[in-house]
Amino acid sequence: MCIGAPTFVAREFFMERMREPASLRSFYHLLDTPLQDVACNGLACFAARQDAPERWAKACRQTPTVYCLGKCYASPSDSGHDVLPHVSCHARKSVLLQNVADGGVTDLLEYIKRGGGDARQCALRTSPDDLVKMICASQLRGRGGAGFPAWRKWQTVAMHAAPRKYLVINADEGDPGAFSDRFLMERDPFLLIEGAIVTAQAIGANAGFVYVRKEYPDAARVMSEAIVAARAAGWLGERFDLECVVGAGSYLCGEETALLNALEGRRPEARLRPPQVAERGLFGYPTLVHNVETLCCVPWIAKHGAEAFAELGFSASRGTKLLSLNSLFNRPGLYEVEFGIGLDALVGKLGLGLRRGPLKGLMVGGPLAGIVPPALLHTRLGYEEMAAIGCAVGHGGVIAFANDSSIAAIAAEVFRFGARESCGKCTPCRLGIPALAYDFATAAVPPSPKQANGIAHDAVIDALATTSLCGHGRGIAEFARALQRHFPEEWSACRG
């Protein structure tokens, strides 16, 4: 039996289950929504709403709401307009963006001509154990948000004997403000496929899925075509095969256990842990879930050596990181930097300052991270360094807010987003976030009746932080606490 051909699970199982229960269909926002004429309601578009008020108004009126088309460099955005962003590498070595910056490579022969494929050859000659050691020595941490050491997950999956193991590529890129995975997939799909092949060889995975958000139709098409080409060239097939699965509009599906439920055709709520997905993941088998960018680092590491990768970056954050800069910068775009860059350099040297200001704050790493105030721009980009100021590297989306956005208005947008995307399993998340959204939306419109529905914000935030089953509720609490810490006066004014 060829367990490398996973077609039975992905498309048919997924679509079959989608047709069935209302509990499943009701979860997804965009199941039956074509994305031909939609405007984006994401946070980067909110930050730039003054630049095209009618487009933002359309996004606010539209049902269902569409969050993040991945065009935050040209916000407020919609499905009908796109331009190419500025793309450049500011690291000593380019691990990720070489092909993207050179115009993109979507043909396998061209990819090989430019040096692609060497990592795959190297992996085929290397034992799984040595590949895990290589990733350990590289100090690669997951780029999807949490920054967990990659080798630990690799080792756990590798050491579990099982008739099947899966590699799941998280291409949901749900954080408004981030568009790096979109460009890696659209412009360098074989880099991701090669990273997946090397990783599968290390952990003994027979099958893998790329779960791409519905809002990225071009990425899904390019990935699907590249997978067919890689299969035809013998890169994929008997040993390890990949399939592209397209989502149906749900931020929570980026959370790895919800993502596995989605792939299994279940209602994509977050799962209780333990067991960890590395032990019992997709269909109960050991599963490695990685973000697109994480896997795209792997070919460079295999080709140039773990030490060369670990030499880049700083502190406990090694290698390079992609940053997506939104349209409020003079030079928005996609940047590859080494960890350790100061946030002030990010604003001044990469983004060339703001088109209008002054800067209210910098949201780095998505809506579940905090907002960095101007006074803390000397902070250097690193997992621990960002955590020390109550913020996060996250997935590297950077949204600059000018001071035409009040803290109440930003908080209201984030809470509204959080409320809409909650899976509803935990009470503070299901009921508390909508209550926060209501209060802050009320406070954002002066003169505001203070503490409109009388809830105790601190109690809700504490409950979110301590009782949430997944990172969604906890992340919203972290965001709120960062605002309390860095913008105390404006926060208090909202509380009454």
The stretch among 119-127, 161-169, 402-410, 421-429 that binds ligand SF4 (CB under 6 A) is 421-429
Phi first, then psi: give them for residue 113, nearest 5 degrees: -60, -35
Binding of ligand FMN by 394 (CB under 6 A): no
Helix (H, G, I), strand (E, B) or coil at 1: coil
- Shortest CB 301 distance to ligand FMN, Å: 14
**Residue from 199, 379, 422, 484 in contact with ligand SF4 (CB under 6 A):** 422
Given the rule CB under 6 A, which of 28-36, 41-49, 225-233, 468-476 is the region that contacts ligand FMN?
468-476
> Strand pairing of 313-314 and 317-318?
antiparallel
Q: Measured between alpha carbons, how far is residue 394 from residues 147, 173, 364, 383, 417 in Å?
A: 8, 11, 7, 8, 17
- Does residue 252 touch ligand FMN according to CB under 6 A? yes
Q: DSSP readout, 303-325? A: HH-HHHHHHSEETTEESEEEEEE
Cβ of 221: how many Cβ atoms within 10 Å?
15
Q: How far is the CB of 356 from ligand FMN (least distance, A)?
A: 29
Least distance (Å) between residue 122 CB and ligand SF4: 40
Nearest alpha-carbon partner for 168 in 49, 285, 79, 34:
285
List the one residue from 243, 256, 269, 338 that touches ligand FMN (CB under 6 A): 256
Task: Candidates 220, 289, 302, 482: give the one binding ligand FMN (CB under 6 A).
Answer: 289
User: What letter does residue 372 receive in the DSSP assignment?
Assistant: E
Tell me the closest approach of the beta carbon of residue 309 to ligand FMN, in angstroms.
15
* Minimum CB distance to ligand SF4 smaller for 132 or for 368: 368
Selection from 318, 320, 312, 363 nearest residue 100 by Cα: 320
Shortest distance (Å) from residue 495 CB to ligand FMN: 26
Strand partners, 244: 210
- Give whichever of 159 and 233 is closer to ligand FMN, judged by the CB atom: 159
CB atoms within 10 A of CB 412: 23
Q: How many CB atoms lie within 10 A of CB 121?
A: 11
Q: Taking CB under 6 A as the rule, does residue 117 contact ligand FMN?
A: no
Q: Considering the complex, what minimum distance in angstroms separates the CB of residue 421 from ligand FMN?
A: 7
Establish if 434 lies at the interface with ligand FMN (CB under 6 A): no
Helix 292-304 / helix 189-203 crossing angle, nearest 10 deg? 80
In the complex, least distance from residue 13 CB atom to ligand SF4, rounded to whole angstroms: 23
Our CB check for ligand SF4 shows the closer of 400 and 437 to be 437
In whole angstroms, what is the distance from residue 329 CA to residue 370 CA? 19
| Sequential DSSP letters for 378-439 | T-BS-HHHHHHTT---TT-EEEEEETTS-HHHHHHHHHHHHHHH--S-SHIIIIIHHHHHHH
Q: Which stretch binds ligand FMN (CB under 6 A): 50-58, 124-132, 288-296, 320-328?
A: 288-296
Options 70, 142, 247, 249; binder of ligand FMN; rule CB under 6 A = 142
467 in contact with ligand FMN (CB under 6 A): no
Interaction of residue 145 with ligand FMN, rule CB under 6 A: yes
Does the footprint of ligand FMN cover residue 472 (CB under 6 A)? yes
Phi-psi region of 366 (alpha: psi -120 to 50; beta: other; left: phi over 0): left
Tokens (6 digits) for 385: 């360094």
Write the DSSP string, 200-214: HHHHT--EEEEEE-T
Q: Which member of 119, 140, 196, 426 binds ligand SF4 (CB under 6 A)? A: 426
| Of positions 172, 338, 385, 439, contacts ligand FMN by CB under 6 A | 172
At its nearest, how many Å lie between ligand SF4 and the CB of residue 471?
7
Q: Which residue, 145 or 373, has its beta carbon nearer to ligand FMN?
A: 145
Can you say how many angstroms the Cα of residue 1 is from the centroid of all Cα atoms in its chain? 35
**Interacting residue with ligand FMN among 180, 291, 405, 422 (CB under 6 A):** 291
State the minimum distance, in angstroms, from the CB of residue 277 to ligand SF4.
15
Q: Tokens 């077609």 appear where?
A: 7
The count of other CB atoms within 10 Å of the CB of residue 153 is 23
Regarding 253 and contact with ligand SF4 (CB under 6 A), the answer is: no
- Contact positions vs ligand SF4 (CB under 6 A): 252, 269-270, 422-426, 429-430, 468-470, 472-473
Site residues, ligand FMN (CB under 6 A)? 142-146, 148, 170, 172-174, 252, 254-256, 289-291, 294, 470-472
